Structure 1
Amino acid sequence: MYVVLQGAKRIILGSRQIDYHGGELVLMGVDLPALVEITEATEETPYLAVELAIDRQVLGELVAQVPPRPLTRVQAVGVYSLPPSAICATLRLLQLMESPDDARILAQGVKREILYRILNSDGRDGLLQMVRAEQTLASIGQVTDWMHDHLDAPIAVEDIASRAEMSVSTFYRAFKEATGTTPAQYHKMLRLHEARRLVALRSRSMASISEAVGYASPAQFSRDYKRAFGSAPIHDAKSFNYR
């Protein structure tokens, strides 16, 4: 989860555009290949946010202690209003960075408080979704980790569904609910994001980058890259600025 304290950011996830600002919470169940840009920041008031990994065991314990209520359907990326109490707790967590000894004793308790405050706010449904879908999200996470490590390998839904120990239809539906996209589209975006990183490094030829991320055709690679990022890889290689 991301506690946004100041400024604004935009995520472009396939055809979906998600904007969020200071005073809002962003929840993601799995890692997502997305374009991200800061849309509001100045030198005097930079973009500030805190990324916190969710301890699912602590979250489960807290959920068991709060009154139940119907769960509404949530998307792969959820944006919610932050209660002032959660912002205050987050600031206290940041202050602990100045005192490692205090942090060792107090940080886990403050993180627990942040989760509790969010469970009593608009972000409750997003957190409950994570608890109820814990095993599914863990299985999807294993598959996305495998995809990260095998960018140059072709994927078949049947094979990756077996990795998640699900039927093809169940896996396909669960994957799309967790990530907002299909397995093939997810894998393609992983490839293209890695390609853009390699283009920025300018340490390889375009043909070598294309092959490294699993494209048999450099021409198809260039078309997909331009469709995803708005400019051809050769153009980006020339335009990236270096100090």
Structure 2
Amino acid sequence: MRPHLAMLRDTILRHATEPHTRTRLPGLTLFRSECQTLPADCICRPRLCIVVQGSKQVIIGSHTFTYDAEKYLIATVDLPVTGCVTQATADAPYLSLSLDLDPAEIATFLLTITPSDARTGAGVAVSTLTEDLLCPATRLTALLDTPDDIPVLAPLIKKEIAWRLLQGEQGALLRQIALADSYLSQISRAIAWIRDHYAEAFDIDTVAKTAGMSTPSFYRHFRAVTMMSPLQYRTRIRLQEARKRLLTDGEDAAEAGFAVGYESPSQFSRDYRRLFGTPPARDVARLRSATGQEHSPLSETV
């Protein structure tokens, strides 16, 4: 194991006392699991994700991203994903971190960077974890051992991480989240609107206007970024929220379906089964009876 990776692993082992640990360092979250996990739904927000031990699988629409200690994942828009730990044991637990990405912080570097083509690309990507990115990530996490240093040193190290990302394989994609008039910022506005209105009926023209784009251009860019259509995105948000209601609020399938915007219980059951593999009642019973794993229907996963 690389020296910086070993240091990062040891720091996470000391501080990740729960499966999901929010730290005193703003924007930094630690994850730990001693076994493989059931698929869990979440909204993956703009962030950097680094696995230091074990491996993770994230599914977005029909696309699957797998990453381990040799790779990092970067997300630049809010995406409904399904994630699960695919490699973990009690002796070698899955360990990872996520760091929120700040568009304002990234924007401070744009004047010093040569502009690149603003090509439309997926809003999530996996790349090789290089030493120049791993080193500041290790130093940032090590501040958890000296919390008095966090207010002074954390902002400086976060800037270094942002700079390394901008200089890396996904730099062109990352620059887009800091530009107010970029296609990614436009799609992000549309995503925020859909998430606020997911239970309502709407057409694509309405959302395209929110993004400030023509309908054909909006549809093309939205699909490229999210790897699904606007209506598929809304359906995914609806079903994740419905699953949460079924598991945590004790609602039945019809109640959950109506609450998230479905007018037909049968259509809700068909869409639910298509996404989760089984009808609502059976799915909830399966999740509740699962033993040896902690499962959150709408958790933050990395």
Same fold? TM cut 0.5:
yes
Matches within 5 A, 1:23-34: 23-34=70-81
The superposition leaves residues 78-110 of structure 1 with CA deviations (integer Å, 9 ceiling, x where unpaired) of 100111121121111111123332110010110
| Equivalence for 1:166 | 213
Q: 1:113 aligns with which of 160, 170, 190?
A: 160
| The structure with more helix, counted as a fraction of residues | 1
State the number of aligned residues.
Answer: 243
Cα displacement (A) at 1:225: 0.6
Matched position secondary structure for 2:126: strand
Cα displacement (A) at 1:117: 2.3
Paired AA for residue 103 in structure 2 = R
Structure 2 stretches lacking a partner, 5+ long? 1-47, 292-302
| Equivalence for 2:198 | 151
8 Å contact 2:71–2:126 — kept in the other structure? yes
| Equivalence for 1:75 | 122
| Equivalence for 2:236 | 189
CA distance in 2, matches of 1:71, 1:161: 19
Cα displacement (A) at 1:56: 2.3
Cα displacement (A) at 1:70: 6.4
Identity of aligned residues (%): 33
CA distance in 2, matches of 1:134, 1:25: 27
Matches within 5 A, 1:29-48: 29-48=76-95
Tell me the TM-score normalised to structure 1 length. 0.89
Tell me the TM-score normalised to structure 2 length. 0.73
More divergent stretch after superposition (229-238 vs 121-130): 121-130
Matched position secondary structure for 1:5: strand
Structure 1 stretches lacking a partner, 5+ long? none
Structure 1 pair 71–151 and aligned structure 2 pair: CA distance change class (3 A): closer
| Equivalence for 1:94 | 141
| Equivalence for 2:298 | none
Cα displacement (A) at 1:44: 2.7
The superposition leaves residues 39-76 of structure 1 with CA deviations (integer Å, 9 ceiling, x where unpaired) of 11222322222222222233233343346666776423
Structure 1 pair 9–101 and aligned structure 2 pair: CA distance change class (3 A): same
| Equivalence for 1:57 | 104
More divergent stretch after superposition (134-143 vs 195-204): 134-143
Structure 1 pair 218–78 and aligned structure 2 pair: CA distance change class (3 A): same
Structure 1 pair 134–54 and aligned structure 2 pair: CA distance change class (3 A): farther
| The structure with more strand, counted as a fraction of residues | 2
Cα displacement (A) at 1:134: 5.8
